[in-house]
């Protein structure tokens, strides 16, 4: 195992950069495309969970599968090579097919399936090459790169969208392809996860899949029998705070257009301030988590977000557009700071509840929690919007955040330890 290097982690961050560009553009504009076809909000919310439905079933299995994979490239890179090309191509096609629901839906489904192939291996790559005591800081770098991607998607993407709704998708496809290629070419996997040409015992794909499912079942059953059940409570806290986050992320551009009257492009621009705050604070958040402790840092971040969302919910659409936009921009910038405290420290907490040979399994469980929330959240938020109006969006998110804070206090493990 080569020595730890922040420079290598920065290069690895390009993988998360590309993923963040794709999802930021997707979540900003695909709901608008669907709504323009006359679909009710609850159905828009349901369609927006397709990626999450696939992720719930695929990411835990693929994470565990990648733990068992051995190739000349290593155990994570083969999934990047397999998933990125079809994901980039079908993402490019979505706005070109926006006039017809069925062709656009086919592109959406294939794109989401392809993204699910490589998401958990890309994220599990970080703890593979990072000792436990450096994982919060390293995850700060990874998330910093993701923040750059979201920032580009929201700010440059909103400008490109005004020129032509297809342009943000073209740019996103190119950035995903180039950034993923950089990871494959420049970031080396540990030698123990590589299989030399002609060496090793070959195992059938079915047998590896069976073993990966066994790893997942074993991890969960073992945690349910543990005295403190910290992983279970951690996954529940993640589930509830992503219920809140995904409701805002999915419907804020629609909220901006039909409730605030400031347009979906301005809504996407305002979401960019969350990304900007996250970008600016992701590196400090890792060091704060290492200093104060991960659970305490996440709790502070959640409480701050709760208060800030309450302030935005109280912002009246009767304010002048410029004043309203300025107020939300500042509030969302601070939400981004607080979200960094939560998100940067959550994955290291989850992976530090297991051993190095099962990092992909716990990464998959992390995604199981977050993507399950993303399945449930948009339809619930959309249903409330259909029944009671867009005014319900922020109060609902606040309730989910409060529950996550309470559950997080039950977590007793997941702090940094010495070594891998």
Instruction: Report whether 63 contacts 364 (CB < 8 A).
Output: yes
- Whether residue 125 is contained in a domain is answered as yes
For residues 94, 238, 216 and 131, what is the CA-based torsion angle, rounded to 10 degrees? 100
Structure-token pair, residue 64: 């565990």
Average model confidence (pLDDT) across the chain: 85
Give buried/exposed letters for 181-203 (b at 16+ CB in 10 A, else e): ebbbeebebeeebbbeeeeeeee
Which of 15-19, 45-49, 253-257, 355-359 shows the lowest per-residue confidence on average (mean pLDDT)?
355-359
Which of the 8 DSSP states describes residue 75? Answer: S
Based on its alpha-carbon atoms, the radius of gyration of the chain, rounded to whole angstroms, reads: 20
Q: Is residue 374 part of a domain?
A: yes
> What pLDDT sits at residue 42?
78
314 domain residue, yes or no = yes
Residue partners of 277: CB distance under 8 A and separation at least 6: 332, 333, 334, 335, 336, 337, 338, 339, 340
Report DSSP state, residue 130.
Answer: S
Position 200 confidence tier, pLDDT thresholds 50, 70, 90: very low
Residue 91 is predicted with a pLDDT of 96
pLDDT at 201: 47
Share of the chain above pLDDT 90, in %: 37
Is residue 160 assigned to a domain? Answer: yes
Residue 420, helix vs strand vs coil: coil
What is the domain range of residue 230?
6-190+207-408
Q: Which residue has the higher pLDDT, 355 or 80?
A: 80
Mean pLDDT of 361-375: 82
Is pLDDT above 60 for 197? no
Spell out the residues 6+ positions from residue 30 whose beta carbon is closer than 8 angstroms to its own: 48, 94, 108
Q: Read off the pLDDT band of 221 (50, 70, 90).
A: low
pLDDT value for 409: 94
Q: Which helix (H) or strand (E) holds 184?
A: helix 167-186
Q: What is the pLDDT of residue 223?
A: 63
Q: How far is CA 13 from CA 140, 141, 333, 367, in A?
A: 10, 7, 22, 18
Least confidently predicted of 83-92, 350-359, 396-405: 350-359
How many Å apart are CA 235 and CA 159, to the nearest integer?
Answer: 37
Structurally, the chain folds into a number of domains equal to 1
The predicted model gives 8-26 an average pLDDT of: 92
**342 confidence band (pLDDT: 50, 70, 90):** very high
> So what's the pLDDT on residue 405?
96
Does residue 415 register a pLDDT over 60?
yes
Question: What is the number of other CB atoms lying within 10 angstroms of the CB of residue 402?
Answer: 15
Domain-located, residue 415: no
Please indicate, yes or no, if residue 103 is contained in any of the structural domains.
yes
φ/ψ of residue 48, rounded to 5: -70, -5
Query: How confident is the model over 22-77, as pLDDT tens digits?
Result: 998 998 899 889 988 888 877 887 888 787 788 777 878 888 788 888 888 888 99
Q: Residues 318-332: what's their mean pLDDT?
A: 86
Give 400's contacts (C-beta < 8 A, 6+ positions apart): 240, 241, 243, 244, 247, 377
Separation of alpha carbons 318 and 322, rounded Å = 11
- pLDDT band at residue 168, thresholds of 50, 70 and 90? very high
| Domain membership flag for residue 414 | no
The arithmetic mean of pLDDT across residues 351-364, rounded, is 75
E strand intervals along 290-356? none
Tell me which of 259 and 308 has the higher pLDDT.
308
The reply to whether 416 falls in a domain is no
Confidence of residue 165 (pLDDT cuts 50, 70, 90): very high
DSSP-derived secondary structure letter, 194? B
pLDDT digits (tens, 9 = 90+) for 226-277: 777 888 899 999 999 999 998 998 888 888 888 887 877 788 788 888 878 8
pLDDT reading at 353 higher than 90: no
The CATH number of whichever domain residue 136 belongs to comes to 1.20.1250.20
Q: How many whole angstroms separate alpha carbon 325 and alpha carbon 254? A: 15
Contacts of 198 (CB under 8 A, 6+ apart): none
């Amino acid at each position: 195992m080569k020595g730890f290097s922040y420079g290598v982690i920065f290069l690895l961050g390009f993988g998360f950069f590309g993923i963040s560009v794709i999802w930021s553009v997707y979540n900003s504009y695909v709901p608008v495309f669907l709504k323009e076809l006359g679909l009710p909000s609850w159905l828009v919310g349901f369609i927006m969970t397709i990626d999450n439905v696939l992720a719930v079933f695929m990411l835990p299995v693929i994470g565990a599968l990648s733990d068992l994979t051995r190739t000349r490239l290593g155990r994570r890179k083969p999934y990047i090579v397999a998933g990125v090309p079809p994901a980039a191509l079908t993402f490019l096609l979505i706005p070109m097919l926006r006039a017809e629901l069925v062709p656009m839906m086919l592109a959406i489904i294939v794109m989401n399936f392809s993204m699910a192939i490589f998401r958990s291996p890309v994220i599990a790559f970080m703890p593979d090459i990072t000792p436990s005591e450096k994982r919060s800081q390293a995850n700060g770098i990874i998330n910093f790169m993701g923040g750059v991607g979201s920032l580009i998607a929201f700010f440059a993407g909103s400008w490109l969208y005004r020129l032509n709704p297809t342009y943000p998708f073209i740019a996103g496809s190119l950035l995903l392809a180039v950034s993923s290629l950089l990871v494959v070419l420049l970031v080396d996997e540990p030698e123990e996860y590589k299989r030399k040409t002609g060496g090793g015992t070959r195992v059938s794909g079915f047998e590896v899949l069976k073993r990966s499912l066994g790893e997942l079942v074993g991890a969960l059953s073992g945690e349910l029998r543990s005295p403190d059940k910290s992983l279970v409570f951690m996954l529940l806290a993640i589930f509830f705070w992503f219920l809140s986050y995904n409701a805002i992320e999915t419907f804020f551009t629609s909220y901006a257009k039909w409730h605030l009257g400031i347009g979906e492009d301005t809504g996407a621009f305002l979401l960019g301030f969350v990304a900007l705050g996250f970008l600016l604070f992701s590196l400090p958040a890792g060091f704060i988590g290492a200093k104060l402790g991960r659970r305490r840092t996440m709790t502070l971040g959640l409480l701050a977000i709760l208060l800030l969302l309450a302030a935005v919910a109280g912002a009246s659409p009767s304010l002048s557009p410029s004043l309203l936009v300025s107020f939300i921009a500042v509030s969302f910038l601070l939400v981004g700071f607080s979200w960094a405290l939560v998100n940067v420290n959550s994955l290291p907490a989850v992976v530090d509840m297991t051993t190095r040979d099962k990092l992909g399994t716990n990464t998959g469980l992390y995604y199981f929690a977050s993507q399950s929330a993303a399945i449930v959240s948009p339809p619930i938020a959309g249903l409330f919007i259909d029944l009671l109006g867009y005014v319900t969006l922020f109060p609902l998110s606040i309730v989910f955040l409060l529950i996550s804070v309470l559950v997080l206090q039950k977590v007793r493990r997941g702090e940094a330890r010495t070594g891998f």
